[in-house]
Structure 1
Amino acid sequence: MEKRKSRFSNWMRNSITARMLVVGFLLLVLLIPLEFVQSLIDERAFRQEEVVREINTKWGNEVLLSGPIVKIPYKIRTEEKLFNEKTNSYYTKTNETYSQAYFFPEKLDINSQVETKPLNRSIYESVVYTAAIAIQGTFPIIDFSEMEIAEEDIFWDKATILLETSNLKGIKTTPLVNIDTQALAMTPQYATSYLNTIQSNHIANAKELFSEQRPFSFNLKINGSESLKFLPIGKETTATMTSNWHSPSFDGNFLPEDTDKQISQDGFSANWRVLQINRQFEQSFFGQLPDLSASAFGTKLIIPVDEYQKSERTAKYGFLVIGLTLLVFLLIQLVSKIYIHPFQYVMIGLALVMFYTLLISISEHSNFLKAYTIAALAVLGLVTIYSRLILKGFKFPLLICGSLASLYGFIYVIIQLENYALLVGSIGLFLILAVIMLASRKIDWNNE
């Protein structure tokens, strides 16, 4: 029994295959704490999302805004033929129902100045904004003739102006819509959908007013977060947006004009132009105003890669870091004939896993670069000192220190890249594989 045990022990110490199997098994075991780290990142990121949503709700959520819409009620007369059993004859009954007509602007021009700022709660941060919006345009000549509605059935004295928005809470100034010489104050209406309605008081002399095209204008100051979008309800809609935010994501059904779009570290500016032919709805509706939010366009004000996203992307390379580091130790063991116990491999692997917990915890209280540097230096120092104790001398510990430092530096570069991360990562992995192939060419693989 002791001979068999001794023979197995010698095989474990001297066989290259046995040592590779042990290191491979330990690498798979180390995936368990690495998965716990990934779960921790997900949990902290979810907590951040909850806090950011709470901050945005109190400040003002995303903003979707339409231009002004003319709303005019009217009466519909329908005739119904009924049978009278007493007189044994038919008679005609006239039914009256009330409906609404909606007319969109002939021309709509939107100018928005968006000022962003960070809001903090505890260790979490959200980006919110205050938008100063100036809207002007022209209302069309309003004509009911296509619907064959009698003039006496149109309630011109009940005509009003509507605005639709997704964020009443964020409005900081009472909008006044100016038509000709009239200034119409707006009040909120009961919301039955995603968009809330703001309605003006009645328009004086509406019939005479809309007998020709009339210019309008109004200004609005509104708090919001995440995105700012507009509905292109004008027969010709133009929009301009300028902001101090450096990472916009142009979103919605229409993109800005490429020639007028500018993005820099100091902010961005963009222009849109949408024609009636570009969208799938008419300039007037009779009966019910549909939900047009699918046609909205605008900008998302996003944080390109936050600290948890960077930590998550870094953790995805955890298997690579641990695997390559253990492979370096294995190659050193094969070249130097120094025996490294499986327990020592486990300690090295756990030290590498600790890098990610340090990174997450420090990045919550500092910027990612500082957190990454501190975590990398701490783990690098620990692994180098530990390798010095088990490998003796300075040659191999310095090799491990240099390899691990290069690997952490390479991963940091990949994390910072957005468009070229895959390309740089693929080239880097190819070069690492080439180095390992060259380093292992002189090993005697016949010792099984």
Structure 2
Amino acid sequence: METQFNQQKNSFFQSTTVKMAMVGFLTLILLIPLAFVKDLISERSMRKKEVTEEVSNLWGKDIYFYGPILKIPYKSYDEYNITNPRTGAVTIEKKITTKNAFFFPENFNSKTNAKKNTSLKRGIYNNVVFTANMNFQGNFGKLNFEKLGIKAEDLLWNQASIVVKTTNLKSIKSDLNIALNNQKLNFESKSDEDNFYGTLESDKFDYNTLNKSNALNFQFNMEYNGSNSIKFIPIGKKSIVSLDSDWESPSFEGAFAANDTTKAINKKGFHADWKILDINRSFSQQHIEKIPNLNDYAFGAKFIETVDEYQQNERASKYGFLVIGLTFLIFFLIQSISKISIHIFQYSMIGLALIMFYTLLISITEHSSFKLAYLIAGLSVVAMISLYSKSILNKKFAGFIAVALTGLYTFIYVIIQLESYALLVGSIGLFTILGAVMYFSRKIEWK
């Protein structure tokens, strides 16, 4: 009786259903080390972002350019009622204060060439930044003080100046001066309540002296060290901006789209043009007291890495459960069809080998390309599992496993590289795999 009970007990643990349940449970257990691998990828990615941020702070961050703006001070009169405490008589006194009127240019033309710099390396991280050479030309037209309610006799013409608001003051690498009708004026930085922008203001000049022909032409150059993006505020009544770079993966963003007829992107870089008229945006050409915040109208290009190595590693790790599950399924089908017994410990070794693929992938990627790292890690894991399979199965099944794993890793790589069609290709691939599993498992005895 005891012998029969033991035989029934052994028969129960050797049944296909129990083996399938144990393999499924092991698959779930292996999600724990897979989660640790994902945390490792996130940690390394955060470390890269920290290093990139550190280098950007030293080299130069995003470039926002807002100017040039003509600034003309004027006298403002404030009236106060003064009551005599003894007699009760009321007198009116005027207090004179100085305020500022700001005028945007009639025409604003900019040509910028941004060249990437790959020499800044911190440890294993390459930080791609750029140097932007920016040329600005244009003119200020007739000034309309009537819209601002300012009388001509109150204007302080001899205290006029040019204001430029921009980020990255510390990363400007050129001497700063501006030519107004061929007269050169120097810029110097000024304190500003705006924490986003820094302010450059020119030497004072007499507007009437320079503006003899009713046109104030300007021309100046600036050289920046920057990273991430270059953006402009279209303050000209007609703003024409041209941007060239050897960066091969830009993202054009902001309130205005680049001209499709002249926009070009290739492996050598990109070129983009913008033309914005005053009717395309809803702000005036003249302002009083303070320069308005017009960041919502900014436009330009962002210099991006479409998918960096950590993003690719993260995407690969998301398919870890699929790889482990399908690999175990292949072994389980072989075991069920061939009647060869595979111990749960052997499944564990195979699962750990599959997890090691991702640690190999990220460690090799940091010192080479993702493509090469994927090839080395994939071949290593396929070779290890195939040789291990040869010891527990026969040569024919080991060869089949090698081909199946190679196809699986190739399929995952193709999905990772695709962007627009990743979901479509993945769905078709999984549907095909499901069909193959249903076909090969149709004659398995599940009792």
Aligned to 1:422: 423
Structure 2 gaps, min length 5: none
Alignment of 1:45-444 (within 5 A): 45-118=45-118, 119-193=120-194, 194-206=196-208, 209=211, 212-391=214-393, 393-444=394-445
Question: Does the 8 A contact of 1:106 with 1:139 survive in 2?
Answer: yes
Separation in 1, partners of 2:22, 2:444: 18
Separation in 1, partners of 2:226, 2:170: 9
Separation in 1, partners of 2:204, 2:48: 46
Aligned to 1:40: 40
How far is 1:9 from its partner? 3.0
Separation in 2, partners of 1:394, 1:176: 78
Amino acid at match of 1:358: L
How far is 1:2 from its partner? 7.6
Separation in 1, partners of 2:58, 2:6: 69
Q: 1:93 to 1:270 in 2, by over 3 A?
A: same
Separation in 1, partners of 2:5, 2:161: 97
Question: Does the 8 A contact of 2:75 with 2:97 survive in 1?
Answer: yes
Question: Does the 8 A contact of 1:236 with 1:276 survive in 2?
Answer: yes
Amino acid at match of 1:399: F
Question: Does the 8 A contact of 1:102 with 1:284 survive in 2?
Answer: yes
Separation in 2, partners of 1:378, 1:430: 28
SS of 1:260's equivalent in the other structure is coil
Q: 1:3 to 1:283 in 2, by over 3 A?
A: farther
SS of 2:98's equivalent in the other structure is strand
SS of 1:66's equivalent in the other structure is strand
Amino acid at match of 2:130: Y
How far is 1:422 from its partner? 2.0
How far is 1:67 from its partner? 2.7
Q: 1:105 to 1:328 in 2, by over 3 A?
A: same
Relative to structure 2, which stretch is displaced further, 326-335 or 285-294? 285-294
How far is 1:94 from its partner? 1.2
Relative to structure 2, which stretch is displaced further, 83-92 or 171-180? 83-92
Question: Do structure 1's residue 16 and structure 2's residue 16 form an aligned pair?
Answer: yes
Q: 1:141 to 1:207 in 2, by over 3 A?
A: farther
Amino acid at match of 2:114: V
Question: Does the 8 A contact of 1:142 with 1:211 survive in 2?
Answer: no
How far is 1:161 from its partner? 0.3
- What are the superposed Cα offsets for residues 216-238 of structure 1, whole Å, 9 maximum, x if unpaired? 11111111111111111111111
- What are the superposed Cα offsets for residues 222-257 of structure 1, whole Å, 9 maximum, x if unpaired? 111111111111111111111111100112221201
Q: 1:91 to 1:3 in 2, by over 3 A?
A: farther
Amino acid at match of 2:165: E
Separation in 1, partners of 2:434, 2:208: 78
SS of 1:443's equivalent in the other structure is coil
Question: Does the 8 A contact of 1:177 with 1:217 survive in 2?
Answer: yes
Separation in 1, partners of 2:390, 2:200: 73
How far is 1:207 from its partner? 6.5
- What are the superposed Cα offsets for residues 152-194 of structure 1, whole Å, 9 maximum, x if unpaired? 3211111100111111122111222111121111111113220
- What are the superposed Cα offsets for residues 300-346 of structure 1, whole Å, 9 maximum, x if unpaired? 11111111111111101101100000010111111011111111111
Q: 1:415 to 1:348 in 2, by over 3 A?
A: same
Question: Does the 8 A contact of 1:141 with 1:213 survive in 2?
Answer: yes
Amino acid at match of 1:72: I
Amino acid at match of 2:141: P
Give identity over the alignment, percent. Answer: 46
Structure 1 gaps, min length 5: none
Q: Could you state the TM-score of these two structures normalised by the residue count of structure 1? A: 0.95
Amino acid at match of 2:398: P
Relative to structure 2, which stretch is displaced further, 202-211 or 331-340? 202-211
How far is 1:89 from its partner? 2.3
- What are the superposed Cα offsets for residues 9-52 of structure 1, whole Å, 9 maximum, x if unpaired? 32121x22212211111110000000000000000000000111
Separation in 2, partners of 1:5, 1:367: 57
How far is 1:95 from its partner? 2.3
